[in-house]
Amino acid sequence: MLKKVNPHSVKNTSRLKKRCPMNKQICIIFTTFDNKEEALKISKQLLDRKLIACAQISGPITSVYRWQETIEEAQEFKLAVKTFTSKCDLVIDTLAQLHSYDVPEILVQTVEKSLKSYLEWMTEEIQ
């Protein structure tokens, strides 16, 4: 019989959560594309350059925004890429250069904690 464990009652969480060292601070960079193929192509280019550890593409999503004084509605695909803050500016510049939009949405979120083994895996993947 399996025993259910309340995750809030686990005393030693050092294996589960680890504050990221400053030189290994993880960030997630978000952008959107009007088609999945472009999101996939750019994801693979970032991976080939070892700038990111992984990418996730979700969608389609519906975006509503104002562009040139008109409210627009578009189907898009959201891309989230994981890297270290030390690579963040380079990833942003690369995304902006490769992106087909005139003004791409490129947003960054830093991660306070992560699974220690995930952080180690990312370190192996990013150069």
**Is 80 in a helix, a strand, or coil?**
strand
pLDDT tens digits for 14-28? 444 445 555 689 999
Separation between Cα atoms, residue 31 and residue 105, nearest integer Å: 5
The answer to whether residue 87 sits within a structural domain is yes
The answer to whether residue 31 sits within a structural domain is yes
Separation between Cα atoms, residue 12 and residue 2, nearest integer Å: 20
What does pTM read for this prediction? 0.81
One-letter amino acid at 113 equals K
CATH code, 46 = 3.30.70.120
Going by C-alpha positions, the residue among 38, 56, 15 that lies closest to residue 98 is 38
Provide the number of structural domains found in the chain.
Answer: 1
pLDDT tens digits for 1-56? 444 544 444 444 444 444 555 568 999 999 999 999 999 999 999 999 999 999 99
pLDDT tens digits for 52-92? 999 999 999 999 999 999 999 999 999 999 999 999 999 99
Domain that holds residue 45: 24-125
Where helices occur in the chain by DSSP H, the ranges are 36-48, 85-98, 116-125
- pLDDT at position 19 is 53
